[in-house]
Structure 1
Amino acid sequence: MVSITEAPAQDRSREADWPVVLFFIHIHLLSLYGLWLLLFEVKLLTILFLLALTSCAILGVTTGAHRLWAHRSYKANTGLRITLMVFQTLAGQGSIYDWVQNHRLHHVTFDTDDDPYNHKKGFLYAHVLTRMRKLSPYQEKLKGSIDVSDLHDDPVVMFQKKFYWVLYGVLFLLLPLNAPLEYWEDSVLSSIFVIGFLRYLVVLHASWLVESAVCVWGLKPGEKYPHDSNSVFVLAKTFWPQYHYLIPNDYKSGEYGTYDCGCSTAFIRVWAALGLATDLNTIEQATIQQALKAAAESKRPLKTCIADAAKHQTLPEDHFLRRG
């Protein structure tokens, strides 16, 4: 069980990670040339290849690392887990194990000063600047106490963790960079700067938005809707970040300010229809209404009441084919 307690100020200080700072600066600068090549020189097949790689990589982060492994919002068979592992490797975001551990730390410390992606410091910090700092000693301690036993029980995750840099070299670098050269004879520069640097930059920012999106789509400090309560966002499942951080294992919660729509949610539904994904978690509005009533009457935390009510809800077998 992770608990957030008082710690000395020096244990909460975060140092700049200068190799990472220089790495990100170079990625952004080199991607500018990749953008110029994309607009004026590359072949159409390279553009289509860029879109395919980017889409697969983002799916690996959203439906894989985030919804499947970090929040266990659904279950996937071995074939789908392997596919999502490959897609997540294409994102170049580190291993699933490390990504999930960091994201769970984010949820445990959300809305506190110990959140590595503290949205109270603004979008620029939550989205970019925090990535250039090492975790504080206290954050490292919290991270080490987070339960990741489910990841240890997943052979796909542990295989990727053990052989990550080999998989990274082959799946993220070698195969994508070689394809434009070998199969449709595009230039070396197009391959390196478009399929290499520009692709990575796009996926990088799409992945970073998973933690910083609350700065974009969330309620601002002091903002309420309606005027006397924010509970409506739970009932209507709007104001996405507030709902997601209260009920993180709802498979319908998108990463970019949406609920019950978007490509990632659609793909999960398709996989469920094909029998590749099962046990899709979601909370019906009637269940949330019961939980709100129970919380008001018992004065217990709303999150606890929702968890209790969810245990007794019965979802139709084809609920993933329905909207709402």
Structure 2
Amino acid sequence: MGFILLSDQWIQFFKQIKWSVAAALILLHVSAVRGLCILVTDAKWQTVIACYLLSVLAGIGVLAGAHRYYSHRSFKANWKLRLILIVLQTLSGQKSAIDWTLDHQTHHKYEGTNADAVSLGRGFFFAHIGWVVMERHPDCEAKRKQINVDYLMNDPLVRLQHQYYLFLYLVINCFIPTLIPYILFGETLVNSFYTCFALRYAYTMQLALSGNSFAHMYGYREYDKSSTSTHNKPLNYLTLGGAYHNYHHAFPYDYSASEFGVKSFNIYSAFIEFFHRIGWAYDLKRAPQRMVDNRRNRTGGEVDTGAVFKRRPIVDWIIGWFISFNIVWTVIIYRLLTTLLF
């Protein structure tokens, strides 16, 4: 009886898997491993730098675009900045801005429940990548339909992206990154495809997904100890400033998604503030310091007393840039070792 019950559970589990998506992700990550091998052994230095810069731009598309602008409306942008954001969000390859927003808003509104698209309550693997390859829970499907994204539909650039997403995904996320090293640096098409498309795509995807898993399991809960969201400093460096997650869940409308803004390593805050200075971004929303302090005192938990940036912001930025260069350092170290040893 127990065996039959277990078998039925597994059958139901396998029925929920979107096998075409799972196969595509497996193929992508296998290709990314090959891309990493090519990057460290054979790719031109210009291709290595292009791979890194495209990763940064895709990250901006997700965390400054899909996250802070489209999902939380933490600032406003003129049409020129909106065009940049929609292009970079498409470069990330992580669904259309509308679909990304719908998933993310269920996450904030129904955190940890079955209505949460990326619920940690269904396990670490589900929160990280299982939600991508499995059918949505009926509770999530129902709540998702209740979320109003008319404000996004009123943006013609967002409507255009959503309507022609597959075509734009192939052009902006796949073809253009592949052609950049090939046309500009004389790189082979094979090397360009595996490095600037497959490796870059899988790498930025894994970092973005970590915001639903690692950033909800490991770290400090300085502002809301009842939330699963945390401050995860190593992940914050890797994601270029996207893992002050406990603060973000306490104050989701804050454009900086951090109490410290650019006083800590936060590429996305710096990006938004740059365009604010030139007038392309405006009405930046910020949580007042008194409100932040009151929330910490009222509902906060552990405090990260060892934060370097609280003493020396420049040190935090140096550490952040150093760690974010991990792909480039991998190539440098490998090629130095092979040169010295062989």
Q: Is TM more than 0.5 here?
A: yes
In structure 1, the partner of 2:165 is 164
In structure 2, the partner of 1:282 is 286
The letter for the 2-side match of 1:274 is I
In structure 2, the partner of 1:79 is 80
CA spacing shift, 1:288–1:34, aligned 2, 3 Å: closer
Trace 1:252-291 onto structure 2 (pairs within 5 A): 252-253=256-257, 259-260=260-261, 261=264, 262-288=266-292
Contact 2:104/2:117, CA 8 A, preserved across alignment: no
In structure 1, the partner of 2:253 is 249
SS of alignment partner, residue 93 of structure 1: coil
In structure 2, the partner of 1:66 is 67
Trace 1:143-158 onto structure 2 (pairs within 5 A): 143-158=144-159
Mapped partners of 2:220, 2:147: distance in 1: 26
Trace 1:7-22 onto structure 2 (pairs within 5 A): 15-22=16-23
TM-score by length of 1: 0.75
Contact 1:65/1:88, CA 8 A, preserved across alignment: yes
Unaligned runs of 5+ in 2: 1-11, 227-232, 234-242, 300-342
In structure 2, the partner of 1:216 is 218
In structure 2, the partner of 1:90 is 91
| 39-48 vs 111-120, which moves further | 111-120
In structure 1, the partner of 2:326 is none
User: How much does 1:178 deviate?
Assistant: 1.7
Mapped partners of 2:289, 2:260: distance in 1: 13
Mapped partners of 1:204, 1:290: distance in 2: 35
Mapped partners of 2:89, 2:257: distance in 1: 19
1:241-293 deviations in Å (ceiling 9; x for gaps):
33322221111215xxx852311111111111111111111111224456799
SS of alignment partner, residue 216 of structure 1: coil
CA spacing shift, 1:46–1:291, aligned 2, 3 Å: closer
Matching of residue 49 in structure 1 with residue 50 in structure 2: yes
Contact 1:218/1:241, CA 8 A, preserved across alignment: no
The letter for the 1-side match of 2:143 is L
SS of alignment partner, residue 217 of structure 2: helix
Unaligned runs of 5+ in 1: 1-11, 220-224, 232-237, 297-301, 303-324
Mapped partners of 1:123, 1:58: distance in 2: 22
User: How much does 1:211 deviate?
Assistant: 2.6
Trace 1:177-256 onto structure 2 (pairs within 5 A): 177-212=178-213, 213-219=215-221, 230=225, 240-253=244-257
Identity rate of aligned residues, in percent? Answer: 29
Mapped partners of 1:46, 1:132: distance in 2: 31
User: How much does 1:180 deviate?
Assistant: 1.9
1:287-318 deviations in Å (ceiling 9; x for gaps):
4456799xx8xxxxx8xxxxxxxxxxxxxxxx
Contact 1:89/1:172, CA 8 A, preserved across alignment: yes
The letter for the 2-side match of 1:127 is H
CA spacing shift, 1:277–1:138, aligned 2, 3 Å: same
Mapped partners of 1:73, 1:59: distance in 2: 15
In structure 1, the partner of 2:118 is 117
Mapped partners of 1:31, 1:24: distance in 2: 10
SS of alignment partner, residue 128 of structure 1: helix
Contact 2:35/2:195, CA 8 A, preserved across alignment: yes
1:55-102 deviations in Å (ceiling 9; x for gaps):
111101110000001000111111001001111111111111111111
1:133-183 deviations in Å (ceiling 9; x for gaps):
110233111111111111111122112112222222221222221222222
Contact 1:123/1:216, CA 8 A, preserved across alignment: no
Corresponding pairs, count: 269
More helix by share: 2
Mapped partners of 1:40, 1:271: distance in 2: 38
Trace 1:93-104 onto structure 2 (pairs within 5 A): 93-104=94-105
Mapped partners of 2:276, 2:244: distance in 1: 23
Mapped partners of 2:65, 2:186: distance in 1: 33
Mapped partners of 1:40, 1:290: distance in 2: 53
Mapped partners of 1:112, 1:97: distance in 2: 22
The letter for the 2-side match of 1:272 is H
Mapped partners of 1:145, 1:90: distance in 2: 28
Mapped partners of 2:36, 2:153: distance in 1: 40
CA spacing shift, 1:169–1:285, aligned 2, 3 Å: same
Contact 1:15/1:136, CA 8 A, preserved across alignment: no
| 134-143 vs 88-97, which moves further | 134-143
Contact 2:61/2:87, CA 8 A, preserved across alignment: yes
Mapped partners of 2:201, 2:294: distance in 1: 45
Mapped partners of 1:243, 1:86: distance in 2: 28
Contact 2:115/2:141, CA 8 A, preserved across alignment: no
Mapped partners of 1:199, 1:56: distance in 2: 11
